[in-house]
Amino acid sequence: MTDPIDSVESFDNFIDGAFVPPGSGNRMQTRNPFTGRVWAEVPDDAAAVDAAVAAARRAFETGPWATMSAVERGRLMRALGDSLARDAEEFAVLETRDNGKIIRETSAQTAALSSYLDYFAGVADKIHGEQLPNPSPDFLVYTEKVPVGVVGVIVPWNSPLMLLTWKLGPLLAAGCTAVVKPSDITPVTSLLLAQRAGEAGFPPGVINVVTGGAAVGAAITSHPGIDKITFTGGGATARHVARAAADNLTPTVLELGGKSPQIIFDDVDPEAVTNGLLSGIFAASGQTCVAGSRAYIHEDIADEVIARVVARAESLVLGDPSDPATEMGPAASDAQRDRILEMIEVARTEGATVATGGVVDPELGGRFVRPTVIVDVSNETTIVREEVFGPVLAVMTFRDEDEVIGLANDSDFGLAAGIWTTDIRRAHRVARALDVGTVWINSYRTVSYNTPFGGFKQSGHGKDNGIEAIDGFLNTKVVWVELSGKTRDPFVIG
């Protein structure tokens, strides 16, 4: 990989086991959000989707993948994981270059990719149907678990390789093949992952990657050759995806945004809670689906906690995301920065007070929005209702448990929540009452390969990770076998 400052790298789609230039010749550029420089260009050609779907279909139906044992599938997945682990740091550098996330986080993510593939590799050969006891002795009834087929995979820019691996792990374990579209903001590493898969021994056509923007995404979601769509991204895009899928009755997994509450009771250590709030919203510059962007703090400790959070926000080290000392990087794009600033402005006009931040960093400029804490808001304020996807924490107070449960659940979203308390009964009571897919107690933003991840309400449906994720890529086939040879009444069911 040459220095991006000196040159613009050119990449092609990865289709049927090889890099293929776009037939139309259309390309798009990708920028380093820290330097603002174009560092790579990739195809942007919706017509390429047909070839990718055809390759995935061939691989699924007739290629070596179609008849490969699950043990062998698992071996290939582990080999891919090993390959990614070997060069995890190189992939981390590329992710940081493409989306501006701090290297500490991208390093941790790329180092973990192999564990996700290992986990699902281990599950691949344990997928099986079952024999069902039937009331009639005349029948043997059993089920088979069969892969759904060709999966359209669309992922966002905030954690490109991690979110892609969350989807590839279960779908490959199930025996499916994939047509992947990474975000137009972060297209490169997915192409390189597909190349690594080819080198690891995956047959051509099992993993295809087509880069580009919304038109390429739409070509995948509306394609009649796609059997399942798994999408991670924003709610507005998800509505396009769901509409397109509806025309072909294609089933979907949708992992969408959130407006996740952090609930802080009055019995906590203010320092620990400050760390928790910080990690929930300023890590990844707030560009994480589980951002703990609404804080409800018990009124007896609110002043102290807010003062601590503001002080920490003001002392965070902003700068070059590839410097390990940096704690917060830039927004991933100009459009993202503009949206963050616009939402802060809307909050101001609705009566909110910006306790700190709310502006582009005066020294760094560019896409660096200062870590922002907003007070004087309520559940009616737009910034408390809508996802910002930036480093903006909206803080409110509460008096009692029932009140805060109501406030936390009063949201269109239901992705995640944090509860901070040392009262064990209260912690579990509140966890049970929250209408969200993941609850963290005295912690925030931890994930694992074996733990299902996904939201309720407008945060989506279906799961990434855990055994449950594999179910999304399997169909259950039922086989009835008549054993007796008796003649049955043709006009009676049962």
Among 99, 107, 183, 195, contact with ligand NAD (rule: CB under 6 A): 183
Residue from 255, 345, 380, 386 carrying the catalytic annotation: 255
Query: How far apart are the C-alpha atoms of 127 and 474, rounded to whole Å?
Result: 9
Contact string 405-444 vs ligand NAD (x = CB under 6 A): ----------x-----------------------------
User: Taking phi first (over 0 means left), then psi (-120 to 50 degrees means alpha), and beta for anything else, what does residue 260 get?
Assistant: beta
Name the active-site residue from 289, 314, 468, 482: 289
Q: Segment 115-154, which members bind ligand NAD (CB under 6 A)? A: 154
Q: Would residue 255 show up in a list of annotated catalytic residues for this protein?
A: yes
Region 2-61 residues binding ligand NAD, contact defined as CB under 6 A: none
Q: Is 289 a catalytic residue?
A: yes
Question: Which range, of 12-20, 155-163, 245-253, 423-431, touches ligand NAD by CB under 6 A?
Answer: 155-163
As a whole number of Å, the CA-based R_g of the chain is: 24
Region 449-468 residues binding ligand NAD, contact defined as CB under 6 A: 455, 460
Q: Does the footprint of ligand NAD cover residue 233 (CB under 6 A)?
A: yes
From 112-120, 169-177, 193-201, 249-257, span contacting ligand NAD (CB under 6 A): 249-257
Residue nearer to ligand NAD on the CB measure, 155 or 268: 155
CB nearer to ligand NAD: pick between 1 and 215: 215
Query: Does residue 221 interact with ligand NAD by CB under 6 A?
Result: yes
CA distances to 81, 332, 374, 477 from 164, in Å: 13, 18, 33, 28
Which is nearer to ligand NAD, 218 or 360 (by Cβ)? 218
What is the total count of residues that contact ligand NAD (CB under 6 A)?
30
Q: Pairing state of beta strands 150-154 and 474-482?
A: unpaired
Among the listed residues 149, 127, 145, the one whose alpha carbon sits nearest the alpha carbon of residue 60: 149
Residue matched to tokens 């997945």: 77
Of residues 251-310, those binding ligand NAD (CB under 6 A): 255-258, 289
Distance of CA 247 to the CA centre of its chain: 25
Select from 237-245, 295-303, 422-430, 465-473 the region that touches ligand NAD (CB under 6 A): 237-245
Cβ distance to ligand NAD smaller for residue 221 or 274: 221
Q: Residue 244 CB, nearest distance to ligand NAD (Å)?
A: 7
Point out the residue whose Cβ comes nearest to ligand NAD: 217
Least Cβ distance, residue 415 to ligand NAD (angstroms):
6
Instruction: Candidates 13, 30, 109, 158: give the one binding ligand NAD (CB under 6 A).
Output: 158
Site for ligand NAD in 384-403 (CB under 6 A): 387, 389
How far is it, in rounded angstroms, from Cα 382 to Cα 285? 20
Specify the residue, 157 or 265, whose C-beta has the smaller distance to ligand NAD: 157
Annotated catalytic sites, by residue?
A: 255, 289
Residues in contact with ligand NAD by CB under 6 A are 154-158, 163, 181, 183-184, 213-214, 217-218, 221, 232-234, 237, 240-241, 255-258, 289, 387, 389, 415, 455, 460
